[in-house]
Amino acid sequence: MSDNSDLQKIKAAAAALDYVQDGMVLGLGTGSTAAHFVRLLGDKVKKGCKIQGVPTSIATQELALSLQIPLLDIEKVTHIDVTIDGADEVDPQLRLIKGGGAALLREKLIAHASAHMVVIADEGKMVDILGKFPLPVEIIQFGVAITANKIFECLRATNCEGTDIQLRYKSDGTTPLVTDNGNFILDCHCIMIPDPIGLCAQLNAIPGVVENGIFPIFANTNRTLVLGTSEGAKVVELVS
């Protein structure tokens, strides 16, 4: 990661604070850009802003608690005002690939329950067509080979340019990564995804697949992109 990229992430995170108002329930994303936002939110809370957060991962929960950000028990949450989260890729229709931080299931659940999703990213995350970033697919631990083969067939059927699928491992390179939900992740090196919406639906129809990292536009959720650039933050609105 370049220093310039990280600076752009900070600019996007800072600009996203404009969407935070007293009394809100906020979804708190996962990943390096979202972590910048949570730290800045902690400063805002210390200055008197009254919000309640809903973290999308154990890592984000621990960061928020260290900053004394009030958190809600997810089992008591039915509606979220705004979720602020990062993205691994964003296309011109503001569709996303997420899951590089292995939190895609919780991120998608919380984003889908939100009235507004604010996506924060550096400008390097913008692409013309999704797929260069490996698409994460969260799967149960039983029958991995069967599920992976069905995913392979799905990638071919939807005309993805690449069909290489790899089980994600921890940094030791030998132990499979297990998500906060107790599942594995398969990273699909699609290269190019011609039909993200179709692929998303077909992947989730496979038994053994829990969720995938394609985030389409949700019917009842406004989506805003705050893109950090070397000149500052650029805002792109998309109202569904």
What residues are annotated to the active site? 107
Rg (C-alpha) for the chain, rounded Å, is 17
* DSSP-assigned beta bridge partners for residue 83: 27, 117
51 Cβ contact list (under 8 Å, min separation 6): 20, 22, 23, 24, 25, 26, 41, 45, 69, 70
Give backbone dihedrals phi and psi of 184, rounded to 5 degrees, phi first. -95, 165
3 CB neighbour count, 10 Å cutoff: 7
